[in-house]
Amino acid sequence: MSGDSTAFISNVAYLTTSLLAAATIYTLVAPMLEGDKLKKRMNSVANAREGMRQDRLNQLNKKAGLRSDDKGFVKNMVDKLSLDKLLEASDLKDKLAQAGLRGQRPIYTFYFFRLALPIIGLLFGLIFFVLLNTPGWEMVQRVGGTVALVTFGYYLPGIWVKNMASKRLASIVPVFPDALDLLLICVESGMSVELAFAKVAEEMAENSVELAEEFSLTTAELSYLSSRRMAFENLARRNNHVGIRSVSTALIQAERYGTPLGDTLRTMAHENRQMRVMAAEKKAASLPAKLTVPMILFFLPVLFIVILTPAGMRLGGALGG
């Protein structure tokens, strides 16, 4: 039994070491593969702008029965298996937009991986837990491990998208009040809303590429959509944050009722600065609780060693003498 346990522990250690090595290699190689982040984001916005121009043409082509047969493997599989209905995810398009993923390609990729990852998890579970006859595990435990891998594979795409959205929002929120101040200056100087958003996007590119991308996309929507209300609503939908939603609502009301846009932006900038200060105070207040466990595990033992070792040595010397 001890031999089986040792073999199982060695298998788990080998698997853990392999995963850590793969994660380390990815961490080192990923920054080299990113390239110019700002250029990629701006190209994405340009593609979205061009897509708005081609919207009407695509509708006409669809009515005329013109179809493109150039479909990728992922799109063909999703369409043939009707994965968008079988593995339907609520508000998927909005969640992908919050993660910075727009267009149809991320949607098809999401459904493809939602199908492929559970299958991979099932195969891995059958090979590792069943065929390799993992020592020390009963059949119920093996089946449970396989089911856990399948479940994790099913929810992994959603977790990944949510994580990307959280990181993206975390880079937007701290600089959003500064962007509102710049937007206020541009509007009060006599610029139109479209030019003001475009100017702020250009100025904020160095501080937050994601925020510059959002403002550039809003500029394109203000130019090509049928109403400004839709552009402001899309801005709030793509950024699930209470401050950005409040600004969007205020801009819609200012557009509808004709209230001064400068006063609205000044009030919203002040409120967002207060929210930023409150978020910083919340993090500072939670710091002592977060430091409790590291203090107990790392600092206190070292402190006890430093304090008690000389006394122990003197006591041992006295007893020995």
Going from N- to C-terminal start, the domains of the chain cover 2-35+72-165, 174-277
Tell me the pLDDT tens digit for each residue of 80-128: 655 656 566 667 788 888 888 887 888 888 888 888 888 898 888 888 7
Q: Residue 63: pLDDT band by 50, 70, 90 thresholds? A: very low
Q: In the block, which residue shows the tokens 């929002």?
A: 169
Mean pLDDT, residues 249-275 taken together: 86
| pLDDT digit string, tens, across residues 276-310 | 888 888 888 888 888 888 888 888 888 888 888 88
pLDDT of residue 7: 60
- Residue 31 pLDDT greater than 80, yes or no: no
Tell me the per-residue pLDDT of 131-190, one tens digit each, with 9 for 90 and over: 766 666 777 777 888 888 888 888 898 899 999 999 888 888 888 888 999 999 998 888
Amino acid at 3: G
- Look at residue 97 in the predicted model and tell me its pLDDT: 85
Q: State mean pLDDT over 249-264.
A: 85
Q: Which of 229-233, 261-265, 274-278 has the lowest mean pLDDT?
A: 261-265
pLDDT of residue 260: 83
Could you tell me which of 118, 48, 59 has the C-alpha nearest to residue 83?
118
Mean pLDDT of 306-317: 84
More confident residue, 291 or 41: 291
Query: Average pLDDT, stretch 216-242?
Result: 87
Rounded CA-CA distance 224/231 in Å is: 9
- Other C-beta atoms closer than 10 Å to the C-beta of 68 total 6
Q: How sure is the predictor about 4, in pLDDT bands with cuts at 50, 70 and 90?
A: low
Look over the chain and give the mean of its residue pLDDT values, rounded to a whole number. 78
User: Global pTM?
Assistant: 0.64
What confidence tier does 21 reach under pLDDT thresholds 50, 70, 90? Answer: confident
The pLDDT score that the predictor gives to residue 74 is: 64
What's the token pair of residue 99?
Answer: 């993660």
Per-residue pLDDT at 45 exceeds 50:
yes
- Predicted pLDDT at 48: 60
What integer is the mean pLDDT of 31-59?
A: 57
CA distance 28 to 64: 50
Q: In this predicted structure, what is the pLDDT of residue 6?
A: 61
Average pLDDT of the segment spanning 13-29: 70
Q: Which tokens sit at 174? A: 């701290």
How far is 291 from 66, CA to CA, in rounded Å? 63
Question: Does the pLDDT value for residue 65 go beyond 70?
Answer: no
Q: How far apart are CA 14 and CA 17, in angstroms?
A: 5
Distance CA 193, CA 183 (A): 9
- Residue 146's pLDDT is 84
| Structure confidence at residue 60 (pLDDT) | 42
Residue 2 has pLDDT above 60, yes or no: no
